[in-house]
Amino acid sequence: MKNFVYYEPRTIAETCDLLSTLKADAKILAGGTALLILMKQRMLLPRCIINIKRIKDLDYIDYDENSGLRIGALATYRSLETSKIIREHYPVMARALSEVGSVAIRHMATIGGGLCHAEPAEDLPPVLMALDARAKISSSTGDRTLSLDEFFLDFYSTALMPDEVLTEVQIPLIREKWEGTYLKLSVRRALDIAIVGVAALMKMADSSGLCQDAKIVLSGVGSTPLKIREAEVILKDKKFSEILAAEASSVASMSCNPASDIRGSAAYKKDMVKVLTARALRQLGTTLGIGKHRRGN
Amino acid sequence: MKHQIRLRINGANYEASVEPRRTLLDLLRYDLDLVGTHEGCGMGQCGSCLVLLDGKPILSCLTLALDANERDLLTIEGLAQGEKLDPIQEAFINTGAIQCGFCTPGMILAAKALLNENPKPDENQIRDAISGNLCRCTGYVKIIKAIQSASLTT
């Protein structure tokens, strides 16, 4: 690694002060599982590193039954994966997190770091997008929050300005009965990012199988996690059925434009989007006890 | 510019003067002569550099030495109590789970972290716990058996 100037602020305010002076000369260091690799490969040569891990009030998982979830940017993937709150109220997050890297990597990687790194084939961001998560961003001039739609701009690019730091992730309460899942296609079961990943959510209006809202977000097929509205509207306000699930998965496949690369050809990835989306939706249907054609009816 | 750090490794106090770019792995191997922790890939993909930091398994190749300041570390050298081996080490030997030995320190510490958190893991949980540790020699079967065996004795 090329050498750098090292800062270790103890508060968010101190961090923002440093950033307003250093701006693009500095990179924030959280878990280091992405940044340090880039620095070792000399793809990034930051003049300064601001290590925020010693800031005490950035590691929390707070659930409020009226407003939802607030997660501090330094909450590690492992702490989220094993959190009783997450497993009870947002189990789809634990599902996605268990696909990431390895146990040791998950003890290091943070939710804030994962979002700011903005690798489009990561496992947590599509789930967070499906959950309508918002990113709270702080600077010395104040705070702002963005939806993840607004936050992710391109490969490894976010709306974060050079003098800003992501401090919190907010996930709204879902009042309807809902289920979500994340399916990942990868060569290995660990230490591998997705070839294609599908985060799917269904919110039910009632117990008759009427779907109030659906979310389908793909990873690995674009420059950011990709929300497929065209597939979501097929399920929205309709009674869920396997036929609709098949239709939505076809539309999801047609609506994305993945690149051919070392992980697979574009055609293969589009095929796999169809397979995984259908599988995810069928799984949700089974869990919710809806959509199955009953014999004799 | 060098920074002074103090840390506790295997119960003993250490002091070092390090450049910011020094990784924890390099600190252990080159500055402190604790060569049981290995470098396989240097990018978090093999697990041979795994150590326990404040009890949690982490990859020392992707950790700055400065990050270990005022923290508590367990490396493979710290498992045995003098001549008395840890049950996991005994199990690896008795089960025949070691061939070249390169992955072994990381594997054993990953197992240690697992058994500290979950003393009676099932096979899937063991596989999950060591999924970040690559072994080119054994095919993992004996390693899993060794961890199962160790979980029965602790």
* Average pLDDT across chain A, whole number: 96
| pLDDT tens track for B103-118 | 999 999 999 999 999 9
Residue A291 contacts B where some CB pair is shorter than 8 Å? no
Could you say which of B20, B21, B58 has the minimum Cβ distance to residue A104?
A: B58
In A44-73, the residues whose Cβ lies within 8 Å of chain B are 49, 51, 53
The reply to whether B129 touches chain A by the CB within 8 Å rule is: yes
Model confidence pLDDT, tens digit, residues A197-217: 999 999 999 888 999 999 999
Which of B21, B59, B113 lies at the smallest CB-CB distance from A105? B59
DSSP string, B98-135: -SS-SSHHHHHHHHHHHHHH-SS--HHHHHHHTTT---
Give me the sheet containing B12-18, strands edge to edge. Answer: B12-18, B3-9, B72-74, B50-53, B56-59
The one-character DSSP state at A23 is: G
What is the rounded distance in angstroms from the CA atom of residue B85 to the CA atom of residue A87?
37
Pairing mode of beta strands A26-29, A48-51:
parallel
Q: Cβ contact (<8 Å) for B42 and A191?
A: no
Ranges under pLDDT 70 in chain B: none
pLDDT of residue B118: 97
B132/A4 CB distance under 8 A: no
Most A CBs within 10 Å, among B21, B54, B61, B70, to test the A interface: B21
pLDDT, tens digit, 9 for 90 and up, residues A252-283: 999 999 999 999 999 999 999 999 999 999 99
Each residue's pLDDT tens digit, A183-195: 999 999 999 999 9
Q: Quick one: which H or E segment has residue B12?
A: strand B12-18
Instruction: Categorize the per-residue pLDDT at A108 as very low, low, confident or very high, splitting at 50, 70 and 90.
Output: very high
Comparing CB atoms, the residue among A51, A103, A105 nearest residue B67 is: A51
Beta bridge partners of A76: A110
Q: Is the pLDDT of residue A297 over 60?
A: no
Percent of chain A with pLDDT over 90: 96
pLDDT of residue A293: 59
> What average pLDDT does the segment A86-111 reach?
98
Give the pLDDT score at A296: 40
Q: Mean pLDDT across the stretch A36-60?
A: 97
- Closest residue in A to B58 (Cα–Cα): A104
Interface pTM (ipTM) of the complex?
A: 0.97
A103·B113 Cβ contact <8 A: yes
**What pLDDT band is residue A290 in, cutting at 50, 70 and 90?**
confident
pLDDT of residue A11: 97
A78 to chain B, any CB pair closer than 8 A? The answer is yes
Q: And the tokens for B21?
A: 């770019």
Beta bridge mates, A196:
A185
pLDDT attached to residue A295: 45
Which pair of structure tokens corresponds to residue A82?
Answer: 């094993």
Predicted local distance difference test score (pLDDT) of residue A84: 98
Q: Evaluate whether A169 touches A16 at the Cβ level (below 8 Å).
A: no
Contact check, Cβ <8 Å, B62/A36: yes
Query: What are the tens digits of pLDDT across the range A149-176?
Result: 999 999 999 999 999 999 999 999 999 9
Share of chain A above pLDDT 70, in %: 98
Q: Look at B44 and A101 and tell me if their CB atoms are within 8 Å.
A: yes
Hey, is the C-beta of A109 within 8 angstroms of any chain B C-beta? no
Question: Which pLDDT value is given to residue A264?
Answer: 95
CB contact under 8 A, B64 and A36: yes
- Torsion A281-A284-A286-A289 (CA) sign: negative
Percentage of chain B modeled with pLDDT above 70 = 99
